[in-house]
Amino acid sequence: MTDDTWRRERMVEWLEDGPSDVPVAALEAAVAFARAHPRRLRSARGLWRVVMTRLHLIEVTPRSSGGRFNFALGPTVVAVVAVAALVGAGLWLGGGLTTPGGDVNPTATPTLSSTPTPTPPIETTRPTAGPTAWVLPPGWASGSQVCVARNEGTTATVDGVVESRGQVQDCTTTSSDPRLSGTAVITMSSDELEDGTWLGWGSHETTNADGSWRGEYAVTSTATASVMGFDAVSLGFGAYEGLQVLMHVVIRYTGDVTVDGIVLPVGTEATGTETCSATGAGHDLAVGDIVATRGLEMSCTDTMSDERLSGARTLDVSVDTRADDSADLWGTSIVSNDGGTWEGFFFGTVDPGYTTHHVRSLLYGTGEYEGLLFRLEVAGTGDPGFDLRGEIIDTR
Amino acid sequence: MQRELVERARDGDVEAFRDLVYEVGKRLHAIAVRILRDPDRAEDALQQALIQMWKGLPGLRDPDRFEAWCYRLVVHASYREARRDNRWTATVREIRTEPGDADRVAEVIDRDEVERSFRRLSPEHRAVLVLHFVIGLPAREIAEVLGVPAGTVGSRLHYATQSFRAAFEADARNVVSWRASA
């Protein structure tokens, strides 16, 4: 017998030699969980269509038309795209939005309600700041957007939450500022909770002959909403290098999407570091090939070169992890210090192997920071901490 | 039979789910305990995987892929369990030996060397070894379970085996040195 064969046999014997008892407690705990969380039979795809119809966001046209749509979420996304180009930031209007002619008050909680472990749901930290009305400010460009779905993505229902992933839309944005006009590609994922509240998020890139604007967005709505609105910030590339766009997007039940925006120079960025620890482990569930972690709570200490941006940051995090351990993550966060708070939504990715994070946020100021936006980028592995870059944008 | 159980469980039948849990639980536990080398954490990983199974069954479009899907759940639950505090803990099993029981002592040394060698592998490499040598899956099916290309499985299997061999040889050298200096 060769050494290799001997070692291989030792390894196989050792691998095969393990506990043969089944931990019945674990099996029964899972069965008990199933009994406590009965599942209703619903068609995920059908539900998605119902949701879209209920939101008045989708207009289905005959097949012969080439599958063109105008949909709410699409517009949203589109709008977002338009918005931004941006550096990214998804902004969650937790305080609600009232638009001329509209009646929206988004109250969605941007985390899933699923609780796969028999523990009480973790309370979500929810941003409460945000614009409550929208009138086109002086200096802003007005615009509109039309989209065509390229890929409807996939949809699955998990514990009553309709999870749609990977929708892609091709859009055309027309703005009174030609720098914001162009063709846009918007990706969108969304969660529809059982009570009809809805959270969508994704990325967008608007391109024209001179350059592009790139960023991320997030938007919430309710089952009865006829208007959705949100803000976003995008960064410029090409001829727009050094510029950013602050955008406000409104999607009406009619399918009309307005994309208002203003181009601003990227200011001097503050830099700093962030150290975090988990204060709530959350829970995991499987969604197709994805492992979905919900309700993860983090507590961080942010130290920035601009003291207004330093403070204690709490985060409520959702993570979708793929087989290669790359991930999408999103959630809400609040930075608190003596001057007030910065509250908003974040969105980002993690590289394969769950290594480097790339996270972007757009946060609304409260207290002394009322009327200010904080564009924040977080990067790094978290070991020993994350690198922060950010800028205050004065919207007053 | 299993397909019918899967379809019923997918439709919300808890009793069918219970039958499924008992049918696959032993194999899933075997995977978790060998990847994690810690019975408590393996039990946690198993429970998480089973709960995910209940949650995720509606999204399982092909009931014939149920077993591969379960293996994936428990492998990833094991990854997460291992990553939870970023350390791999060992289970120390005491094997009593009697003086003069040379064969038994040699077995303990062998097993200890294997254990140390295995512990040096990444969770991804452990998973490939376990799925191949314990569950008996071919590379193509391991690829499906792990959601990676078959070529990646082949390279991981090769690397894991080689790494195991290198670690094993390093440990053997250390034992020789220790014995020589004693």
Does the pLDDT value for residue A87 go beyond 70? no
A55 has pLDDT over 70: no
pLDDT score of A160 more than 50:
yes
Cis peptide before B123 (omega within 30 of 0): no
Q: B161 is in which domain, residue-wise?
A: 102-181
Q: Residue A258's closest CA among A175, A139, A137?
A: A175
pLDDT at A209 over 90: yes
For residue A65, pLDDT over 50 is answered with no
Q: What is the pLDDT of residue B95?
A: 34
More confident residue, A360 or B114: A360
Q: How many domains does chain B have?
A: 2
Query: What values do phi and psi take at A152, rounded to 5?
Result: -80, -5
User: Residue B23 domain-assigned?
Assistant: yes
Cα separations (Å) of A225 from A54, A97, A195, A344? 9, 11, 13, 21
Q: How far is CA A204 from CA A89, A389, B13, in A?
A: 11, 21, 42
Using DSSP's 3-state secondary structure scheme, residue A358 falls into strand
Q: What's the whole-number average pLDDT of chain A?
A: 69
Query: Which of B18, B51, B59 is nearest residue A288 as measured by Cβ atoms?
Result: B59
**Binary contact (A158, B59; C-beta < 8 A):** yes
On whether both B112 and B167 belong to a single domain, the answer is yes
CATH number at residue B33: 1.10.1740.10
Which of these ranges, A79-88, A160-169, B37-46, B55-64, has the smallest mean pLDDT? A79-88
DSSP letter at B93 equals -
Query: With a cut of 0.85, is the ipTM above it?
Result: no
Q: Residue A175: what pLDDT?
A: 95
Report the pLDDT value the prediction gives residue A10, as an integer from 0 to 100.
65
Q: Residues of A numbered 336-375 whose beta carbons fall under 8 angstroms of chain B's beta carbons: which are they?
A: 354
Q: Tokens for A311?
A: 């403070």
Q: Is A158 at the interface with chain B, CB within 8 A?
A: yes
pLDDT per position as a tens digit, A115-152: 333 333 322 333 333 333 456 777 889 999 888 888 87
Residues 167-196 (A) with a CB less than 8 A from some CB of B: none
Q: Per-residue pLDDT tens for A259-318?
A: 888 898 887 889 999 988 877 767 777 666 777 777 788 888 999 999 999 999 988 888
Nearest to A159 by CA among A204, A194, A196: A194
What ranges do the domains of chain A cover?
Answer: 53-265, 270-394
Question: At residue B36, what is the residue type?
Answer: L
* DSSP codes of every residue in A81-139: HHH-SEEEEE---TT----TT--------SS-----SSSPPPPPP------S---PPTT
Chain-chain contact of A26 with B50 (C-beta, under 8 angstroms): yes
Tell whether A119 is within 8 A of chain B (Cβ). Answer: no
B136 domain residue, yes or no: yes
In a domain, B34, yes or no: yes
Q: Is B38 helix (H, G, I), strand (E, B) or coil?
A: coil
Distance from CA of B165 to the nearest CA of A (A): 7
> Would you put residue A334 in left (φ > 0), alpha (ψ -120 to 50) or beta?
beta
Side chain identity, residue B69 = W
**Contact yes or no for A7 and B18 at CB 8 A:** no
- B8 lies in the same domain as B79: yes
Taking only the tens place, the pLDDT of each residue in A32-47 is 888 877 764 332 222 2
Within a domain: B93: no
Domain-located, residue B146: yes
DSSP, collapsed to helix, strand or coil, labels residue A33 as helix
Task: Looking at the structure, tell me whether residues B43 and B73 fall in a common domain.
Answer: yes
Res B109: pLDDT: 52
Which pLDDT score, from 0 to 100, does residue A12 have?
67
Q: For A377-390, what is the mean pLDDT? A: 88
Kindly report the nearest CA distance between residue B153 and chain A, in angstroms: 12
CA distance A252 to A232: 18
pLDDT of residue A185: 92
Nearest to B43 among A10, A23, A157 (CB): A23
Do B79 and B138 reside in the same domain of the chain? no
State the smallest CA–CA distance between residue B4 and chain A in angstroms: 17
Stretch among A66-75, A353-362, B116-125, B127-136 having the lowest mean pLDDT: A66-75
Instruction: Answer yes or no: do B72 and B124 share one domain.
Output: no
Judged by average pLDDT, the poorest of A241-245, A263-267, A321-325 is A321-325
**A152: which 2 tokens?**
């409807």
Instruction: Using an 8 Å CB-CB cutoff, list chain A residues near B123.
Output: none
The pLDDT, as a whole number, for residue A61 is 25
Which residues of B are less than 8 Å from A289 in CB distance? 72, 147
> Which own/partner contact pairs does B43-47 have at CB distance under 8 Å and 24+ positions apart?
B43/A23, B43/A25, B43/A26, B44/A26, B44/B81, B45/B74, B45/B77, B45/B78, B45/B80, B45/B81, B46/A23, B46/A26, B46/A27, B46/B74, B46/B77, B47/A26, B47/A29, B47/A30
**DSSP label at residue A350:** E
What tens-digit pLDDT sequence spans chain B (182 residues)?
688 999 899 888 899 999 999 999 988 998 998 888 888 888 888 998 998 888 888 777 788 888 888 998 899 888 878 776 433 322 233 333 344 444 544 555 555 666 777 777 778 888 888 888 878 888 888 888 887 788 888 888 888 777 777 766 665 554 433 333 33
| Rounded CA separation B182/B177 (Å) | 8
pLDDT digits (tens, 9 = 90+) for A189-208: 887 776 667 778 888 899 99
What is residue A84's predicted lDDT score, i.e. its pLDDT?
A: 28
- Chain A CB contacts of B72 below 8 Å: 289, 323
> Do the chains contact at A34 and B18, CB–CB below 8 Å?
yes
Q: Which of A16, A30, A322 comes nearest B50 by C-beta?
A: A30
